[in-house]
Structure formats: structure tokens, C-alpha cells
Amino acid sequence: MSDLPTLPVTFRPGSTRAVLLTAAVAILVVITAVAMLLKQLNPAERLSFIVTALLLDAVLLLLARPKVVADEDGVTVINLTSKRRLEWAEILQVTLRSGDPWVFLNLSDGTSLPALGIQPGLAKQRAIADARALRALVETRSVANPERHQS
């Protein structure tokens, strides 16, 4: 297939990630500036403002973490707090149905793994294209496919 992405390839919600990272920087700058400009605050109170900003940033950075990385040997799914490595043969199907918040990978062990790195949130067409690309890679590299791509 000529429309297959070159491996390794990383899928991540670029627009959502940009918004989250921009918000993280803005929150840190604004809250730190407010803490420094309020003259009635003592050093401990200023520090509490900055620590609060850092905690908010940590949450935003966690939300910006998801991605799906496909390479020659398989797929790594990095979600908010977990990371899972899958061999190509473990992935039976890639689905992104209308209304789904993100892609789901149906696995050979009978479970389904959410892949938050491909989500239609702010860039629906991009997510659909990424889901199709990952689906094509899975179909091409599947053990069940006798014409399995070898590099």
C-alpha cells in the first residue's frame, strides 16, 4: 500500500496538545506574576500560589501525554497514566466509530484498549485519517495476512 505511513510514526492529538501546553505556560506565568505583584502576600503565600500553578500544569501535561507510536515491531499506546506495548499480531482491529472519544484497539486476548493518542476532539478529520493509517498498518502487518509486509 502506497498510502501507509513510514515507520516509525507517532499519532497524537496535535491541536489538543498545543492548547493544553499553551494553557500550562499561560497559567504558570499569570499565577506567578499575580503572586509576585500582590505586595500583601508573605513568601509562604507566594510559594503556595506557584505550587498551585505547578499542580495545575502537572494535570495539563498529563492530559497532553497520550500518543500512539507504531514501529517495525508493534505499537506502543501511551495514555494518561499507562503505557502498553503491543506486537502487531495482538491487534485485531482498529475502530473509531461516530461519537467515540478516541480510537479503540480490539486485541487478541478479547479485550479492547483505548488509544487516547488518536481522538477526534479538536481535529476530527486528522483523527479519522490517523485511525485509517493505523488500521492500514495493522492490516498490512497482521500475522493472519499472508502478504505481511516485511522490512
Name residues whose C-beta falls within 8 Å of residue 7's C-beta, 6 or more positions apart in sequence.
70, 71, 72, 137, 151
Instruction: Identify the pLDDT of residue 150.
Output: 46
Instruction: Identify the pLDDT of residue 149.
Output: 45
Burial 16-55 (b: 16+ CB within 10 A, else e): bbebbeeebeebbeebeeebeeeeeeeeeebeebeeebee
Instruction: Identify the pLDDT of residue 151.
Output: 44
Residue 50: all three cell numbers together = 506557584
SS3 content of the chain, % helix, strand, coil (to 5): 45, 20, 35
Name residues whose C-beta falls within 8 Å of residue 16's C-beta, 6 or more positions apart in sequence.
64, 119, 121, 122, 123
Report the distance separating Cα 20 and Cα 80, nearest Å: 13
pLDDT along the chain (151 residues), means of 10: 83 94 98 97 98 98 97 97 97 95 97 96 92 96 56 44
Report the distance separating Cα 85 and Cα 88, nearest Å: 10
Residue 12: all three cell numbers together = 497524537
**pTM (two decimals):** 0.85
Query: Given the C-alpha cell 506502543, which residue does it identify?
Result: 76
